[in-house]
Amino acid sequence: MPGVCSDPNFFETTVEPLLAAGREGDLCEWLKKNGLIAKEQKCPNNECLTTEKMQWHRARVVDKFNWVCLECKKKVPARHGSFFADFKCELGYALRVIDSWCKNMPLSDVSGEGRTKVNVAKRIYNGCAQVAEWQLKKIVGDFKLGGTDVVVIVDVFPDGNMSLEVPTTSHNNNFSKRVLCIADTAHVPVRVWASLLDGSNKENSKIVEMVKNHVMLGSTIVTNEMLYPLLHNLPGIGEVISTEALMNLDINHDHKSLKNLETIWATTVEACIQLQDMSTTHAEQHLYELQWRQMYGFIALPSMIQQIVEYTAYNNPICPPLPSIWPTN
């Protein structure tokens, strides 16, 4: 992603030092510089006649600073109109939770003690998920996978060849949600597109349409024996190979092909198991998160920060557009 910081340790090298006690002013200036909170504010009091901008003042509040109108004395929080506006926590804590979401850490590992912190962390996680979903829908065209001579794997969880062992759930292995998964092996880690299947009698035709919509012409498709009859005559596809045919080539039946597939699908299988207990809406959101993390992987936090800036500007038309966090050159 051009223009985004490529430091894989961005949180540790850039953000974390600003979270030390006594550096609240430096943190706020960094947030302002990068568009995460406003650089200036106008007085929101309709009865105030001043044309002057509000002043930045130190205050006895959680952010240690706020905006003050010198005319009517109206005060506005430092985070007013920002992604952080509705989170009742320190700005530093919010940034730590965003980093944890990017690293796919369980909520229980990051929320700390107390119901309040748990609820705040959950809301921040939901906010990040909304930004990720918005970003993926915005760039939906980028989910054309494969290309000439690129191997694309198409499978269905839990019916196909995504794992050596039959996956288990807390409900007697009753997988109520089936997922079509498409992996582009030209990326490291592999880039995955996934979608819930509805189990209707039109499911096969929908699978074909989804593959046609998301796999580029010239790709080589590897798929399981159930999908092979549906896909082997797709126009424009270079070649379609069944995973069973690959496994027949394994020396001494060592399951090398299946082990390779299991490695490729590991993160996706984990996500598919997790979503079994979710509502359909949350399951779809979970798949968006999976795809987002696999797309932005090593630059997840700087990418999320940039997208938060863009998302906030897009959804808050009363505020002027915020600048991009990264220079373009």
**DSSP result, 76-142:** EETTTTSTTTT--S-HHHHHHHHHHHHTT--HHHHS-SSHHHHHHHHHHHHHHHHHHHHHHHHTGGG
* Gap between the Cα atoms of 60 and 256, Å rounded: 63
Q: pLDDT tens across 196-217, in order?
A: 998 777 888 999 999 999 999 9
pLDDT at 159: 86
- 160-179: average pLDDT: 72
Q: Which residue spans within the chain are E strands per DSSP?
A: 55-58, 65-68, 75-77, 151-157, 179-184, 191-196, 220-223, 239-242
- Is 3's pLDDT higher than 70? no
Report the pLDDT value the prediction gives residue 112, as an integer from 0 to 100. Answer: 66
Give pLDDT tens digits for 217-234. Answer: 999 999 999 999 999 999
- Whether the model clears a pTM of 0.85, i.e. scores above it, the answer is no
Among 184, 169, 132, CA closest to 269: 169
Q: Domains (ranges, CATH) in the chain?
A: 10-139+299-315 (no CATH), 142-277 (3.30.420)
For the cut 60, the answer to whether the pLDDT of residue 30 exceeds it is yes
Average pLDDT over residues 172-196: 86
User: Is the separation of the CB atoms in 143 and 214 below 8 Å?
Assistant: yes
Name which of 131-135, 253-257, 271-275 the model is least confident about. Answer: 253-257
CB atoms within 10 A of CB 164: 10
Does position 114 have pLDDT exceeding 80, yes or no? no
Both structure tokens of 265: 């699908």
Measure the CA angle with vertex 252, ends 249 and 256; round to 5°: 60
Residue 1 pLDDT > 50, yes or no?
no
- Could you give the percent of the chain with pLDDT greater than 70? 88
Distance between terminal CA atoms of the chain? 13
Q: Cα–Cα distance between 49 and 104 in angstroms, integer?
A: 48
Q: Are 244 and 174 in contact (CB under 8 A)?
A: no
Mean pLDDT value of segment 169-179 = 70
- pLDDT tens-digit readout, 4-14: 667 778 999 99
* Percent of the chain scoring above 90 in pLDDT: 64
Longest dimension (CA), the chain: 85
Query: Is residue 154 a contact partner of residue 182, using CB atoms and an 8 Å limit?
Result: yes
pLDDT at site 142 = 65
Rg (CA), the chain: 24
171 vs 152: which has the higher pLDDT: 152
Mean pLDDT of the region 270-295:
91
- pLDDT of residue 163 exceeding 50, the answer is yes
Scan for tokens 């002057």, then name that residue: 52
Residue 28 pLDDT level (bands cut at 50, 70, 90): very high
